Structure 1
Amino acid sequence: MIKYFTIEDLLKHYLQKKFHILLIANPDLAIAAFQALKAEREKRQALEEAVAVQAQQIAELKPKATYYDVVLKCKDAVNISVIAKDYGWSAQRMNEYLHKKGVQYKQFDILFSQIGISTFTS
């Protein structure tokens, strides 16, 4: 069977052979090439690790961002300090009371409502 080669195949083969000959003939060039390859791989690995850390941070912060979006878009939300003022309490005292009664729970240092959208914390 006859195999046909393109000019690109021949050129690639020629350059690979030429590169191997250069590396064997010049060990310093080979060392420099492998050091550059090693540095590039280390840089790539560091970037991949940074991307993984950032992906984890995004996953952790996404629920918080969603919560803020819901609260900020809610036209009927009333600030807890306004409600607490009606009872003569501070917002902090009102939040503590609601938390003790099981109406709110803490997540990400934010009080969430068991029923629906929670009130703002002050």
Structure 2
Amino acid sequence: MRNYLCFLALSASISGPVYAESPTAPSSKCGEVAATPPCNCEKPRYPIESANRNEQGKTTLQFLLTTEGRPTRIMVVRSSGYPRLDGASVAAITNACFKPIEKDGKLIEQEASIDFEWKLD
């Protein structure tokens, strides 16, 4: 199977980009977010059928980050144009967790969005 790059950009008022590398590339760290590093960030798998059909695109998801650091209320707000890629994006963020956001000594919920950019070599 061809290599791919999936770029993830988490958008919240206090966060920065997250990157997922090619599944065949060695990776010493999964991602990096300014104030909310992922505590569980597995590389999303490129759907085999999407790779075979050369499907590429960007999916934007919106979600609520809970006080436990789990994404909930996940919605596709911009489709890649391919349901398999959108579904893989939802599955990846569903299984992720982030360091909970703290404000004034209290854990808070935070609306956030993330872009999954699916590209084949």
Q: TM-score surpassing 0.5?
A: no
TM range (shorter): under 0.3
Largest Rg, 1 or 2: 1
* TM-score, normalised relative to structure 2: 0.22
From the two aligned structures, give the one with the greater strand fraction: 2
Structure with the larger RCO, 1 or 2 (CA within 8 Å, 6+ apart): 2
* TM-score, normalised relative to structure 1: 0.22
From the two aligned structures, give the one with the greater helix fraction: 1
